[in-house]
Amino acid sequence: MVVDLAVSAFKIPPMERPKRGRWLKRPDDFEVLIYWRQDRLVRRVIPDFADMVAWAKTHNVRLVSATQNLGDPTQHAELVLPFLKARLGEGESRSISDRMAGYYAWVRSEGRWGGGKPPHGYMSVKVAEPRVRQGCLW
């Protein structure tokens, strides 16, 4: 079993991921590659999904989702649904990226810190909760 924790499926192609890449270089060791969900296998249709299907066909390895009934995309008749799921995953990943970029741009324009590790020389402090007395803030 391979688990690539905290590895972006959108930014790092399947063959280049730290743990998965080592397994994929030994295709003769297995007949079926079972993945959790389509969007955990790949996030981009071109080239990642196409490359995984080509790799699987070349090495006679079946691709099967453990949680989604998508069929094996290496079989011509079963290619459409996994292809569509890969395309949806790619669109979702791009939408999240756009939303986060917009959020961080807005935070910076407001002169606020967006979170994460404080810059060198700064430290984070907890802001006290405002106190309420008789419906008024003071």
> Is the model's pLDDT at 59 over the cut of 90?
yes
State residue 60's pLDDT score. 94
pLDDT 10s digits, 83-94: 777 778 788 888
State residue 24's pLDDT score. 84
| pTM of the entire predicted model | 0.57
Q: Secondary structure of the chain in the HEC alphabet? A: CCCCCCCCCCCCCHHHCHHHHHHHCCHHHCCEEEECCHHHHCCCHHHHHHHHHHHHHHCCCEEEECCCCCCCCCCHHHCHHHHHHHHHHHHHHHHHHHHHHHHHHHHHHCCCCCCCCCCCCCCCCCCCCCCEECCEEC
Domain boundaries, the chain: 14-125
| Most confident stretch, 28-37, 69-78, 106-115, 127-136 | 28-37
State residue 131's pLDDT score. 61
State residue 5's pLDDT score. 65
pLDDT 10s digits, 75-130: 876 777 777 777 787 888 888 888 988 988 888 888 887 777 887 888 877 777 66
